[in-house]
């Protein structure tokens, strides 16, 4: 727990500044959204395929078409939804506790490296 009266070292200020000014780019968020949706949509396709195959009297080609249709609609909608969710969370500072602990450790390591001969 940090005290309000504690003075930050120059290294802590530098690392804190770097962490606070570093965010994921929109392109990275989009790449993560797409890769996640590919995996999720494969799952949706398999579930849809099993349900259509087991509980309907459709032919294999109809079942494949319906499962593909469901997965196609789902992938577009959920990529958009995940992207919005990811961008909202990129701006929330809650839960980023590691920065002060790792900041102190990184500063000590940097100091040792600078003063080593």
- Residue 2 tokens read as 């940090």
pLDDT number for residue 4: 56
Range list of H helices, 21-97: 26-55, 60-90
pLDDT tens per residue, range 89-113: 888 877 665 555 555 666 677 777 7
pLDDT number for residue 57: 95
Distance CA 16, CA 5 (A): 17
> For residue 2, is pLDDT > 60?
no
pLDDT tens per residue, range 3-50: 555 787 777 777 776 666 667 788 888 888 788 888 998 999 999 999
Residue 108 CB contacts under 8 Å (≥ 6 apart), including other chains:
11
**The overall pTM is greater than 0.75:** no
């Amino acid at each position: 727990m940090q005290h309000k009266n504690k003075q930050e070292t120059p290294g802590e200020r530098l690392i804190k500044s770097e962490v606070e000014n570093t965010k994921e780019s929109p392109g990275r968020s989009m790449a993560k959204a797409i890769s996640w949706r590919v995996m999720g949509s494969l799952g949706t396709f398999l579930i849809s395929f099993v349900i259509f195959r087991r509980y309907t009297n459709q032919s294999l080609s109809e079942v494949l078409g319906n499962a593909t249709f469901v997965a196609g609609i789902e992938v577009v909608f959920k990529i958009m939804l995940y992207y919005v969710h990811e961008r909202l969370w990129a701006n929330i500072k809650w839960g980023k506790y590691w920065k002060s602990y790792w900041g102190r450790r990184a500063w000590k390591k940097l100091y040792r490296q600078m003063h080593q001969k």
